[in-house]
Amino acid sequence: MSPQLDEPDAKEILVASDAATRALSAAPVDTDFVARVYEKISSVYDLFYGPTLHAGRLESIGRLGIRAGDRVLEVGVGTGINAALYPRDCNVTGIDLCSSMLEKAERRIAGHRLTNVRLLQMDAEELTFPDDSFDVVYAPYTISVVSDPVKAVHEMRRVCRPGGRFVFLNHFLSSNKLISRAERFIAPLTVHVGFKADLDLPAFLVQAGLDPVSIEKVNIPRIWSLVTCSKDA
Ligand SMILES: C[S@@+](CC[C@H](N)C(=O)[O-])C[C@H]1O[C@@H](n2cnc3c(N)ncnc32)[C@H](O)[C@@H]1O
């Protein structure tokens, strides 16, 4: 299926010849490094990544097509900033690597008196759920954070039921040459504040074997993408 693409030149990039082999980022990190960074920034996460990324969260949640009774998995639930945005009649499981982020999420969920959200400490790259456990698997602002995005998205697809959707919301390397050069340059610095600025979407899609149903620009400015994939029924 050909994805619906917002960017006019994205199709051309999708077929770029070395997408199957090139590095996904100039700043590879391991999972222990990511865990340490998030333990450090958990107290200021909401301040820096709360309002700035919230338009994208609001826009995206409405596009997930969640129905009453759906089992939803949020990968990288962080401080639980999305928790109150999910419809109350779906069942949400939020997983995260980092205990101090999860502690904040626990408090937020209690504050909102949410009874449809449970939290678990788990590595996105080694989910402990059985295959086909969820109707919707959603990774908001997480795929450029994990150490191995291909492994994480394979796990997202595995735990998604046939016919369900797995979706990621993220900023990716710009298709503009000048901007992408700057993003690659700063990526070794941005990993210290929790993300890779230069995750290469076309290479990621090819290397993960993904054929998204849609890629839509969200947030303000519109430099974040909501990538929706469906698992074959
Ligand atoms: C940028 S935050 C996103 C939080 C939330 N989804 C939001 O919308 O603000 C990324 C989260 O992914 C978590 N994370 C990073 N690597 C992970 C992994 N391998 N498994 C599970 N969570 C991970 C981090 O601890 C962090 O809480």
User: How is the chain split into domains, by residue range?
Assistant: 4-230
Quick check: CB of 141 below 6 Å from ligand 1? yes
**pLDDT at position 78:** 98
**pLDDT at position 221:** 85
Is the pLDDT assigned to residue 5 strictly greater than 60? no
Is residue 84 classed exposed, middle or buried when 0-12, 13-18 and 19+ CB atoms within 10 A define those classes?
Answer: middle
Q: How confident is residue 17, by pLDDT bands cut at 50, 70 and 90?
A: confident
**pLDDT at position 69:** 98
Nearest CA to ligand 1 atom 26: 78
Does residue 8 come out as left (phi exceeding 0), alpha (psi in the -120 to 50 range) or beta? alpha
178-221: pLDDT as tens digits = 999 999 999 999 999 999 999 999 999 999 999 999 999 998 88
**pLDDT at position 50:** 97
**pLDDT at position 114:** 98
Q: How far is the CA of 190 from the centre of ligand 1 (A)?
A: 15
Query: Residues 191, 29: contact at Cβ < 8 Å?
Result: yes
For 182, the token pair is 């700057």
Of residues 123, 92, 122, 124, the one with CA closest to residue 108? 92
Q: What residues contact residue 115 under an 8 Å CB cut-off, 6+ apart?
A: none
For 151, the token pair is 């492994």
**pLDDT at position 228:** 98
Q: pTM of the prediction?
A: 0.93
Provide the β-strand partners of residue 75: 95
Report which residue type is found at 137.
V
Q: How far is the CA of 63 from the centre of ligand 1 (A)?
A: 20
Q: How confident is residue 2, by pLDDT bands cut at 50, 70 and 90?
A: very low
Query: Residues 154, 183: contact at Cβ < 8 Å?
Result: no
Q: How far is the CA of 96 from the centre of ligand 1 (A)?
A: 6
Quick check: CB of 78 below 6 Å from ligand 1? yes
Q: How far is the CA of 8 from the centre of ligand 1 (A)?
A: 30
C-alpha–C-alpha distance, residues 98 and 96, integer Å: 6
Return the CATH superfamily for domain 4-230: Vaccinia Virus protein VP39 (3.40.50.150)
Quick check: CB of 146 below 6 Å from ligand 1? yes
DSSP calls for 70-116: -EEEEES-TT-TTGGGS-TTSEEEEEES-HHHHHHHHHHHHHTT-SS
Q: How far is the CA of 28 from the centre of ligand 1 (A)?
A: 16
Is the pLDDT assigned to residue 1 strictly greater than 60? no
Q: How far is the CA of 195 from the centre of ligand 1 (A)?
A: 9
Query: Per-residue pLDDT averaged across 116-128, rounded?
Result: 98
Query: Residues 149, 208: contact at Cβ < 8 Å?
Result: yes
Test site for ligand 1: of 117, 145, 154, most ligand atoms within 8 A of the Cβ: 145
Instruction: Give 3-state DSSP helix, strand, coil % of the chain, rounded to 5.
Output: 40, 20, 40
Q: How confident is residue 6, by pLDDT bands cut at 50, 70 and 90?
A: low
Test site for ligand 1: of 57, 61, 72, 97, most ligand atoms within 8 A of the Cβ: 97
83-113: pLDDT as tens digits = 999 999 999 999 999 999 999 999 999 999 9
Quick check: CB of 94 below 6 Å from ligand 1? no
Q: How confident is residue 11, by pLDDT bands cut at 50, 70 and 90?
A: very low
